[in-house]
């Protein structure tokens, strides 16, 4: 899992720098959301993916526009990686009518069906059966798309995980089960919740490949997902990928993180920052330099600031729209 993966040969310099920009967008989006929740300017709750940028960007990097994803309650990165407009995302969190759900869904319910994002989900493991249903649709209708299902380590102990993977295996469906193991399900360490070293090893019970990768290494994530994508697209059925990563923030905005040590947090922030890792690899390969990398960072930061201005200037939903898009 710790081997250094080669840079993806099919990716141009421009494409790799686009992914760097995307990862900075993910980080600054969630850092800004964290700031506004702390100031009481955004309401409800949110679950941030700061520190997990490589899993979202790497997994979605190999998908095409027809391929689908299902997301989680910690899904802002997935949305951005699948091509979502950060202006509309920020407007949704500000409860403005220009948001993806017209300001009614908030952080955990952003969807962008036109780009293949079937939606975030506030239910732990809730996206797994949706992804299996999407993959079944592709197989029954002979449609050429693959569905990638994001879920966390906590969801791997839900019934939907086992039932979904079992059905996908039995029916040989074009689906990738992508576990973002960020080490904690709410306040519980994955070591206390499972009695195996790797969640990816559970694939053997269902007769499908299981791959365990360094989730903060963008290139390792790309390599693993590409292999699983080709298998699924060529009729080989599902794959379970476990990407080991770490969330820098708490489980949600109200989490004080008292269940983990400052030393642990410092290690992941300093030694395993996915953006620092990517910068070092690209600079070593001569594909960028420190100044260009800094320009990419600053451009992404300004785009998020512009998204905030867009959200603040957008109108709030009217009372007349209260019952629109509500089903009974």
The residue from 251, 281, 297, 310 that is catalytic is 251
Selecting among 231, 247, 281, 297, the annotated active-site residue is 247
d(Cα 278, Cα 139) in Å, to the nearest integer? Answer: 36
Backbone φ and ψ of 169, nearest 5°? -70, -45
* 297 annotated active-site: no
Alpha carbon separation from 219 to 4, 69, 199 (Å, rounded): 9, 20, 21
Find residue 184's DSSP bridge partners: 189
Task: Give backbone dihedrals phi and psi of 112, rounded to 5 degrees, phi first.
Answer: -145, 75
CB-based burial, 24-62: b 16+ in 10 Å, e otherwise: bbbbbbbebbbebbeeeebeeebbbbbbbbbbbbbbbbb
Instruction: Provide the CA 184 distance to its chain's centre, in angstroms.
Output: 16
Helices 159-170 + 127-140 axis angle, to 10: 10
Q: Is 100 a catalytic residue?
A: no
Which candidate in 21, 109, 162, 259 is catalytic?
259
**Catalytic residue positions?**
247, 251, 259
């Amino acid at each position: 899992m710790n081997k250094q993966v080669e840079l993806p040969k099919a990716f141009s310099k421009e494409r790799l720098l686009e992914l760097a920009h995307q990862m900075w967008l993910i980080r600054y989006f969630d850092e800004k959301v964290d700031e506004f929740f702390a100031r009481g300017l955004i309401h409800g709750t949110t679950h941030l993916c700061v520190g997990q940028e490589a899993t979202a960007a790497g997994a979605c990097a190999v998908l095409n526009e027809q391929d689908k994803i299902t997301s989680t309650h910690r899904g802002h990165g997935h949305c951005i990686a699948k091509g979502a407009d950060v202006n509309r995302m920020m407007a949704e969190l500000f409860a403005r009518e220009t948001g993806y759900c017209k300001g009614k869904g908030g952080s955990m319910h952003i969807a962008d069906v036109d780009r293949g994002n079937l939606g975030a989900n506030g239910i732990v493991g809730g996206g797994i059966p949706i992804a299996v249903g999407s993959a079944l649709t592709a197989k029954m209708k002979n449609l050429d798309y693959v569905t990638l299902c994001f879920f966390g380590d906590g969801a791997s102990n839900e019934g939907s995980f086992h039932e979904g993977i079992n059905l996908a295996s039995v029916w040989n469906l074009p689906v990738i089960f992508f576990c973002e193991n960020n080490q904690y399900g709410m306040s519980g360490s994955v070591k206390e919740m499972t009695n195996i070293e790797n969640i990816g090893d559970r694939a053997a019970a269902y007769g499908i490949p299981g791959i365990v990768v360094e989730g903060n290494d963008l290139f390792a994530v790309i390599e693993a997902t590409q292999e699983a994508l080709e298998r699924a697209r060529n009729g080989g059925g599902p794959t379970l990928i476990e990407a080991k990563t770490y969330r820098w923030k708490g489980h949600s905005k109200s989490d004080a993180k008292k269940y983990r040590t400052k030393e642990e947090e410092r290690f992941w922030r300093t030694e395993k920052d996915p953006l620092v890792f990517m910068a070092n690899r690209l600079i070593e390969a001569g594909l960028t330099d420190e100044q260009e990398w800094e320009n990419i960072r600053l451009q992404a930061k300004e785009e998020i600031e512009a998204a905030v201005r867009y959200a603040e200037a957008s109108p709030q939903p009217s009372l007349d729209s209260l019952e629109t898009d509500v089903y009974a």
